[in-house]
Amino acid sequence: MPSSSGGPPVSSDVAYASVEEAAKQTYIRALKVLPPDLKEALARARAAETDPSGRGFLDIMLENVAVAERDENLVCQDTGTVVFWLEVGDECALNLARVSAAVKKGVERATLEHPLRPNAVHPVTRKNTMTNTGRHLPAMHYEFVPGSAGLPADALKLHCLPKGSGSENMSFLKMFVPADGVKAVKRFVLECIVEAGPKPCPPTIVGVGLGGTADLCAALAKKAVLRPLGTHNDDPVVAALEDELLGAANELGIGPMGLGGRTTALGVNIEWAHTHITQNPVTVNLQCWAARRASAVVTPDGEVTYGF
């Protein structure tokens, strides 16, 4: 594999070792350092919150974030179910089977070497693997992106999303028919937020998937959670729906930790896909206030750049 810097060829093993290390480090980093857009959103929410209880909980959340960064400690004890969204440049030569194996090994190493709380269990026996990995875990989604998307064409980008159980348990799917209309979609999203109440540790990020099939729609809702706060879907119709739903969510009065206030959601992010003429799937995937995520770009010569 040639070096991107024009130097001597680099063994492909170096690149896969870098993917493994990037998976390990993004998992740990996501649990300890929250993205700047999230911290800014919490600060804005604190400034706008009028409910004394809501202000108090937002103060605690901001202090929690500051202490975790200062002491290099976890923001939350729930180390989550690990999800990776991987962007593959259109000239990336890495073998994706080896990439998947490297990502899994990285998560195992993070769990054992840090160490982190192990959460992955058999769904029937409940036996814990003790590594936060197992059958189909970590969950991995691959997306192939053109060079115009901002990722070097020969690179791989890992997005790590540790998903805590309190928020992941608050996931919803409804298969609408076209006759139900957009009003039904809006009502469903808001009903999900109300049903979830305090369970996902609000204020939440509300990830919504629209269209596709049931499984694709669910993946899109999870992808939506990864998007930075303050950004909008590039479809103006969908972007307007995001704003409308965010405004409506914050009129529900659920508030921080579900104890009242103006701040029930920090954002509503929607991702969509074209769907069948006779259906309109909608999924909602809630993310807790500690919306943990981290990313890394790995180049063919094994260089890694970390971010959010």
Task: Give the span between the Cα atoms of 243 and 256, in whole angstroms.
Answer: 20
pLDDT of residue 2: 41
pLDDT of residue 11: 55
Give domain limits for the chain. Answer: 12-33+75-164+292-307, 166-287
Over residues 57-93, the pLDDT tens digits come to 999 999 999 999 999 999 999 999 999 999 999 999 9
Confidence bin at 7 (pLDDT 50/70/90): very low
Over residues 118-150, the pLDDT tens digits come to 999 999 999 999 999 999 999 999 999 987 678
pLDDT of residue 148: 66
pLDDT of residue 1: 40
pLDDT of residue 9: 44
pLDDT of residue 146: 87
Task: Give the span between the Cα atoms of 276 and 258, in whole angstroms.
Answer: 37
Q: Is the pTM of this model over 0.85?
A: yes
Over residues 250-286, the pLDDT tens digits come to 999 999 999 999 999 999 999 999 999 999 999 999 9
Query: What average pLDDT is seen over the chain?
Result: 95
- Vertex 82 angle, CA 128 and 255, to 5°: 110
Task: Find out if CATH 3.30.450 is the number for domain 12-33+75-164+292-307.
Answer: no
Over residues 152-198, the pLDDT tens digits come to 999 999 999 999 999 999 999 999 999 999 999 999 999 999 999 99
Provide CB contacts within 8 A for 130, sequence distance 6+: 111, 112, 118
In the block, residue with structure tokens 């020969």:
154
